[in-house]
Amino acid sequence: MRERVIQLWDLPVRLFHWALLALVAGSVISVNIGSNSAMVWHGRFGHLILALLVFRIVWGVIGSTHARFHHFVRGPRAVFDYLRGRWRGVGHTPLGALSVLALLLLLAALAVTGLFANDAIAFRGPLYPLAGADLSDRLTTWHRRGEWVLYGLVTLHVLAILYYAVIRRDNLILPMITGRKRVSNPAARSFQGGGMLPFMIALAAAAAAFWVAGGGLLPPPPPPAPDLGF
């Protein structure tokens, strides 16, 4: 069957993918260093991750064809068809789509709980005042437990990439760099849609989420008590 090259992943999806990878790596490294300055950076990384996730959610609704959730998130029948070798689509496979959703949901949960978390020493998330000590401690516990779930999902993600590269002879990394993929399916088409206006809308939503998550809606802290010179 004759092969041809299609445009699979648009630039926003590719930038999101690699930026998310860099931020998650920075978040993991900083939390394992554990110093006060490293924890400040851990909070910044989480803050940026949340903004990126909001961008991806919006782009998954109004972005280009293969980026849209309704294009690659399918029901159980599609998963069974894929497992039986009857799936002929491009982009995320039905099983891969479940992995993508699991990672996005877990990272969103980690980012949100991190906004209210504390390290029992000096670090407090920007929305800590909304939670208080007791709720913050509970959310911190869930945040730390989620770290281990993240390691498991990332491991599965890497193993899936290696499986496709070694067993299926399908390089999943190169299309996420170039945006192009060689396909033999005659029904496969390059992505359509997206464009500057949807991109600006998604970017504005990410910026708004970044501002709110940083405490933009919180009242300003009270002014310091006057120095009476005692």
Inform me whether the pLDDT recorded for 30 exceeds 80. Answer: yes
pLDDT in tens, 174-188: 999 999 998 887 778
What residue spans define the domains of the chain? 10-213
> If one looks up domain 10-213 in CATH, what number appears?
1.20.950.20
Q: Which helix (H) or strand (E) holds 181?
A: strand 180-183
pLDDT value, residue 109: 97
Residues 6+ away with beta carbon under 8 Å from 113: 139, 140, 142, 143, 146
- Helix axis angle for 94-116 and 76-83, nearest 10°, is 130
Structure token digits, residue 100 = 């993508």
* Residue-level pLDDT at 127: 95
Residue 26 near residue 45, CB atoms below 8 Å: yes
pTM for this entry: 0.91
For residues 117 and 128, what is the distance between their CA atoms, to the nearest angstrom? 7
Q: Reply yes or no on whether the pLDDT at 22 is more than 60.
A: yes
Cβ-contact 210, 48 below 8 angstroms: yes
Tokens of 5: 């090259």
Predicted confidence (pLDDT) per residue in 141-176, tens digit: 999 999 999 999 999 999 999 998 999 888 999 999
Contact between residue 67 and residue 83 where contact means Cβ atoms under 8 Å apart:
no
3-state secondary structure of 127: coil
What are the residues whose beta carbons fall under 8 Å from the beta carbon of 27, sequence distance 6 or more? 42, 45, 46, 49
pLDDT of residue 8: 93
> What tokens were used for 103?
């990672």
Please tell me the predicted confidence (pLDDT) of residue 157: 92
pLDDT for residue 1 is more than 60: no
Q: What is the pLDDT of residue 116?
A: 96
How many beta carbons lie within 10 A of that of residue 85, not counting itself? 7
pLDDT of residue 228: 63
- Positive or negative: CA dihedral 99, 13, 20, 115: negative
Express each pLDDT in 88-129 by its tens digit: 878 888 888 999 999 999 999 999 999 999 988 888 999 999
